[in-house]
Amino acid sequence: MIGEKNQSVEKNKSEIKDLVETAELLLTTRGDYQKMLDVIALRALKASGADRVCLIMKNERDELKIESGLPKDAHGIGQKITIDIGETFLRRIIKREESIVLVTNPYEDPRVAYMRGLVRTYGISSILFLPLFFEDEPIGILVFDRIGSERFSREALEKIKLLGRLASTAIGMELKRQKDRQKILTDEKLRTLGEHSSRIAHIIRNSLTIIGGFSGRLLKYLLKESRSGESKIDSRLLDTLWGTAKIIDGETKKLEGIVNHILTFMSFKKPVMEKHNINKFLKDELTLSPANGIKTRLKLDKQLDRLNMIFDRKMLSICLHDLIRNAIEASATRIIIKSKLKPRQKEVIISIINDGKRISPEIMKDLFSPFVTTKMDGNGLGLANVQSIVKSHGGDISVTSDVLTEFKIILPLHKTFGSKNNGESENSL
């Protein structure tokens, strides 16, 4: 009896030691994302008693990719998960927080039909999928394969779950750290760029005003000459001069327009933070100026009917209308505007979703930078503006574009106030 007890104490001790060791190892990989994933794969293999382990991660573009795996050369590391290799099944798993999916008959189970080749090659007898979550958001999946007749024991399952929690926290914190670091760098760059650009924009505007003034006077003079009938200038030369002056005038006006746009963009002041109800704000905005007759639906989180938050109404209105204008310009036939409360993160998410032309992948990386446009008459300042407003509220904006394009604005819930407003949760306009 005492022997058994001692054995179990020893086992517990060794399990705790393993976990501490894993945590320590993960701490040493801070700042090196790939190394962190490789350590997780290695520790997962050890803890689970599995024969193969692979780590599939979700990236910022919402793609699933194999990022690490053991044995080293037995996984297509770097490979994107597509429909042919189980994307539908894996996406279903990734949505199921904290639940393990165990496939005990991979030869016949249709869910893993895409793995049949591997199952045969390696003699895989069971596969276990563990979704990884950080702050309620899915971040990836750990996949464990067993070869031969051995099954995953109850003990192994417990260890796998614990390891999954450790891995999720480590990866989630690392991704957050990377994002924060990137944000600091971008903010600093934008601040410096902003300071210089506004000085340069003023200089350019002054010169443009002079050029515009002279080209206007030149056009007036040429017009007078062409009408006078006594002009000393040859009529063909007059035509050429008129054409040239017209081009200078037109281009100057175009440049003036852009520079004025930039100066307006630069002159945005600090937001005037006042108490508003976000659901009511969204309803009001769309009722006051509907989106050009395009079918627009509001899907509002009912919890937000009873909460007020603080934001600058005018500024958020500019954002909303810029995003709607972009959707219209992308030939959307329907637009959905959603609000969602994330109580745990103390955040509110506003999504603007549209169909129509998708965003071209070439500009995706720089989409929020000034002057990125695919339109003949676009300035490429709309989204830069929107991002700057959202950031001035302490929030963030992201985008995905596939069959639908979705802009997601995250606003912090600095403060919440009770609201008497008890509107509907879903409202079709």
Ligand X SMILES: Nc1ncnc2c1ncn2[C@@H]1O[C@H](COP(=O)(O)OP(=O)(O)OP(=O)(O)O)[C@@H](O)[C@H]1O
Which residues of this protein are in contact with Mg ion, per CB under 5 A?
326, 382
Closest CB 384 distance from Mg ion, rounded Å? 10
Quick count: other Cβ atoms within 10 Å of Cβ 209? 13
Closest CB 396 distance from ligand X, rounded Å? 16
Pick from 115, 127, 383, 390 the residue near ligand X by CB under 6 A.
Answer: 383
**Residue 197, CB-side half-sphere exposure with 13 Å CA sphere:** 18
Q: Which CB atom, from 50 or from 327, has the smaller least distance to ligand X?
A: 327
Closest CB 329 distance from Mg ion, rounded Å? 7
Q: Which CB atom, from 212 or from 370, has the smaller least distance to Mg ion?
A: 370
Closest CB 356 distance from ligand X, rounded Å? 6
Rule CB under 6 A: say whether 405 interacts with ligand X.
yes
Closest CB 260 distance from ligand X, rounded Å? 12
Which tokens belong to 216?
């206007």
Spell 120-156 as b/e; 16+ CB within 10 A means b.
eebebbbbbbbbbbbeeebbbbbbbbbeeeeebeeeb
On whether the CB atoms of residues 322 and 358 are closer than 8 A, the answer is: no
Q: Which residue is nearest to ligand X (CB)?
A: 382
Q: Which CB atom, from 220 or from 365, has the smaller least distance to ligand X?
A: 365
Residue 348, strand partner residues: 341, 411
Residue 102, strand partner residues: 128
Draw the binding track, 321-360, toward ligand X (x: CB under 6 A; -: no contact): -----xx--x-----------------------x-xx-x-
153 binds, among ligand X, Mg ion, none (CB under 5 to 8 A by kind): none
User: What is the spatial distance between Cα 145 and Cα 69, in angstroms, rounded to a whole number?
Assistant: 11
| Torsion sign, CA atoms 168, 169, 172, 177 | negative
Q: Where are the alpha helices (DSSP H) in 49-94?
A: 87-94
How many residues touch ligand X (CB under 6 A)? Answer: 20
For ligand X, the binding residues (CB under 6 A) are 326-327, 330, 354, 356-357, 359, 367, 372-375, 378-384, 405
